[in-house]
Amino acid sequence: MKVLMISIDKGLLGRGQLGDVIERHRAYGQKVQRLDIIVLSPKGFSPYQISDNVWSYPTNSSNKIKYYFDAKKIGKKLFEKTTYDLIVTQEPFFTGLAGAWLKKKFGAKFLVHFHGDFWQNINWLKENKLNWMLWLISKLVVVQADAIRVMSNGQKNTLIKAGVSPDKVNVIATPVDLKKYDRLDLVPTSDFKTVLHVGRDDKVKGYDTLLKAFDLIKRQMPDVKLVKVLGGKEFSKALNNHSNKDLKISVYPQTNHQDLVAFYCQADVVVLSSTSESFGKVLVEANACGKPVVSTNTTGGREIIRDGYNGFLVPIGDYQALADKVLFLLNHSDQAKAMGQNGKNLVRERFSDNLDQIIELWRKIIGTKI
């Protein structure tokens, strides 16, 4: 089986990767004959060899408008060298549009991933006027797709309600190798409490809510520290706009997977303040490290958190509620520890390294047996 992916994850080009993205795609390569990945990127990147049979190719586009056209151009050249059985796109927007074009031209099967929670999500549509255009593009792409992979049952139900055939939608979360998070040698080493946020630099992460909540937390616990992994322009913008300039925050623009596990293990509470999440892999990873979590009540949050059992859910945008739940866990270490252990048990039962499920889906789509 030969697979062509189209992705927006520049970590696949060997720079700034979060977590195990390189390792995960190297593992995909062990299950297929060839895996090539087109990555939507600005100028300044080079092709990157992930393994013997896995390569990533940057579009090196002069602007975002050219992402689609450059991805088509590279995909056409790759198809002229290799006959791919399957096209996989990371989202149903520009990668999906390019994938649909390549499917029509070369006749390969076409799988679209829904990693974001955007269909029927008014919060997402309000974030940017361009999101309305992206939503319309996604509707066109879904029609062309042979299959859709979503991260949660909530996403699947939303698509079905919107008229997508249930047979077309497959729920398979992002693979998580839980063994890598079970690190008893990593324990909190500081005297002060630590709240951790891990996530890409995106408006959808709700940084304004996060900072307002942390401000309230510090008024109750002055020594508490916020650690932000994967800070960037959007987080810096939110920080500059926040009224309190004296917040104690440690920002790490990027980290490797081993260090990320250490951040989880050394935190007291892990939070997500997002306006939308399709799955929330961060929550699974935090629970796998035995840490309690507090998240806004997104589709992904509801998929992972049993409120009051392995963490807490709070209304989207409600920074007071977010602060209250974090403070409860910081002030009640026994309950926090119990929730963290509950989380570890829960993710072992429900989430595992599901790479084989993904490969099985690929083979099902192209009509071959494992």
pLDDT at 228: 95
Report CA-CA distances (Å) from 307 to 136, 337, 345. Answer: 34, 15, 15
Paired strand residues for 7: 39
Per-residue pLDDT, averaged over 93-104, amounts to 97
Residue 98 shares a structural domain with residue 235: no
Residue 359 shares a structural domain with residue 318: no
Report which of residues 21 and 78 the model is more confident about. 78
Give the lowest-confidence range in 7-16, 42-51, 238-247. Answer: 238-247
Band of pLDDT at residue 214, cut at 50, 70 and 90: very high
pLDDT at 184: 55
Give the Cα separation of 365 and 338 in Å (integer): 42
Residue 271 shares a structural domain with residue 296: yes
Residue 214 shares a structural domain with residue 142: no
Tell the residue number behind the tokens 């790490």, with chain if given: 252
| pLDDT of 183 higher than 70 | no
Residue 209 shares a structural domain with residue 265: yes
| pLDDT of 55 higher than 60 | yes
Residue ranges making up the domain that contains 17: 2-175+353-366
Per-residue pLDDT, averaged over 50-65, amounts to 96
CATH of the domain at 282: 3.40.50.2000
Residue 150 shares a structural domain with residue 6: yes
Give the Cα separation of 46 and 5 in Å (integer): 17
Query: What percent of the chain stands above pLDDT 70?
Result: 94
pLDDT at 193: 92
Paired strand residues for 197: 228
Band of pLDDT at residue 325, cut at 50, 70 and 90: very high
Residue 151 shares a structural domain with residue 101: yes
Question: Tokens representing 80?
Answer: 């002229």
Per-residue pLDDT, averaged over 200-226, amounts to 93
Give the lowest-confidence range in 44-48, 71-75, 116-120, 227-231. Answer: 116-120
Residue 114 shares a structural domain with residue 190: no
Contact 300, 280 (CB under 8 A): yes
pLDDT at 242: 86
Burial of 127 (0-12, 13-18, 19+ CB in 10 A): middle
pTM: 0.76
Q: What Rg, from alpha-carbon coordinates, does the chain have?
A: 21
Q: Say how many C-beta atoms besides its own lie within 10 A of residue 277's C-beta.
A: 31
| pLDDT of 256 higher than 80 | no
Strands annotated E in 80-205:
86-89, 109-114, 147-150, 169-171, 194-198
Q: What is the mean pLDDT of the chain?
A: 90
Give the lowest-confidence range in 55-59, 69-73, 169-173, 328-332. Answer: 169-173
HEC secondary structure over 216-280: HHHHHCCCCEEEEECCCHHHHHHHHHCCCCCCCEEEECCCCHHHHHHHHHCCCEEEECCCCCCCC
Q: CA-based diameter of the chain, in Å?
A: 63
Residue 329 shares a structural domain with residue 232: yes
Please, what is the end-to-end C-alpha distance for the chain in angstroms? 10
Band of pLDDT at residue 17, cut at 50, 70 and 90: low
Alpha-carbon dihedral angle through residues 62, 67, 73, 78, given to the nearest 10 degrees? 110
Residue 346 shares a structural domain with residue 357: no
Tell the residue number behind the tokens 């891990």, with chain if given: 198
| pLDDT of 370 higher than 80 | no
pLDDT at 368: 65
Residue 145 shares a structural domain with residue 206: no
Give the Cα separation of 264 and 269 in Å (integer): 9
pLDDT at 281: 86
Residue 69 shares a structural domain with residue 210: no
Count up the domains in the chain and report the number: 2
